Structure 1
Amino acid sequence: MPQQISAPHGGQDRGRSRGADVRHDLWGPTLLRAVVALIFAAVTVFWQEPSLGAGRWVMAFFLVGTGVSAIFLQLRLNRREDVDLGPSRNIPQSYGVLYVLGGVLTAVVASSDWLFVLFSAVILGLCGITELVLGMRFRGQFPLGRDWTLCGVVTVFAAMGMVLVETLGTKAELGVVGGAAIIVGVTQLIAALSLRHDARAADKALTDPGRTA
């Protein structure tokens, strides 16, 4: 079956009767992800000598928070009857759950440095690849397509970087992921603000079409 994706405003009268551009449902989860990433990045930048025990809890916060934002996005998409991503519709929920489970395992089970790197890198790698594929599939067709692509690429490189610096200790491992989190956080913050602005502008255009003529 061909993929059916609504125009940003949700298309026909059904979308108009809801009075909400689809981007209204996207900017909240996007902002949440940005906040989580920027908090994690700030901690990793200013924390000079993190211990393994504390470091794994900080990583768990990042993984669980990112997963929650993806699940939040899924819930928002589920209530949009005018948005159909086809077989890929539930992918955000899938990697969101994986992020959450990975965060819990990292916090509870990763009692050694190599386990910490193993759990974190595997989760970041799997989720990053999944998000990258999703983004490539809908890039240019859905408001979050390019953001999924960028975040997927950055996350995959973060996973690879963790493995490469494994012998340098927790500070280096968190630093690699923190650097990626800065990129994700800044781009997601810009995306969230842009989505919110564009959604409001589209609503105004519908209520007062004469002003856009």
Structure 2
Amino acid sequence: MRHDLWAPTLLRALVALVFAAVTVFWQQPSLEAGRWVMALFLVGTGLSAIFLQVRINRNETVDLGASRSIPQSYGVLYVLGGALTAVVATSNWLFVLLSAMILGLCGLTELVLGMRFRGQFPLGRDWTLCGVITVFAAMGMVLVETLGAKAELGVVGGAAILIGVTQLIAALSLRHDARVADSAASPPARGA
């Protein structure tokens, strides 16, 4: 199972860390450029969730029950939210409203999924932590709305750092566990 989980987790980590690096070092983002960066972050996060869903679907040993398609659901919501943010968010308040709603809904969904599978699924704890961080990022965006694009992107960028590091550690751990399982499953080579 861990073979199928590490690559989508790594993709999400990379998307979050690239977004975080851009927002931390970008001193004076305009609303126009900021909404495109946020849109790309939302779409990238959504695509990593859809990639995770594809990997979960191809593995018959993963049993999430009725929750099996939830990563795809919030992945699609992220992608649609990113597209809406890029196209519709022409004013600062609309940018904050759309971004915060998408982050809040997806974060709550991921939090609930994580709480449900916290001890049963390898990504359960990571989903819980990322869900909490995403919900706080959504709330933070609303709180700093009057301070402009730098503050809004900075709040989400700070959350992205935490998510990126968490997901990177999870991906490396899953990859390591998969390699250990492979070496334990393969028969030892015979010496001549």
TM-score range, shorter chain: over 0.9
Among candidates 73, 76, 98, match of residue 94 of structure 1: 73
How far is the alpha carbon of 1:206 from its aligned partner? Answer: 1.5
Partner residue in 1 for 2:179: 200
Runs of 5+ in structure 1 lacking a partner?
1-21
Root mean square deviation, CA, Å: 0.8
> How many matched pairs?
188
Partner residue in 2 for 1:43: 22
Runs of 5+ in structure 2 lacking a partner?
none
Letter in 1 for 2:32: G
Partner residue in 2 for 1:159: 138
Letter in 2 for 1:41: A
Could you tell me the TM-score, scaled by structure 2's length? 0.97
2:106 maps to 1:127: yes
Among candidates 137, 140, 162, match of residue 116 of structure 2: 137
Q: 1:61-84 CA distances to partner (integer Å, 9 max, x unpaired)? A: 110000000000000011111111
Structure 2 Cα separation of the partners of residues 57 and 148 of structure 1: 26
Which 4+ residue blocks in structure 1 deviate beyond 6 angstroms?
none
Q: Identity percentage over the alignment?
A: 85
Secondary structure of residue in 1 paired with 2:83 = helix
Q: 1:4-23 CA distances to partner (integer Å, 9 max, x unpaired)? A: xxxxxxxxxxxxxxxxxx11
How far is the alpha carbon of 1:203 from its aligned partner? Answer: 1.3
Could you tell me the TM-score, scaled by structure 1's length? 0.87
2:49 maps to 1:70: yes
How far is the alpha carbon of 1:208 from its aligned partner? Answer: 3.9
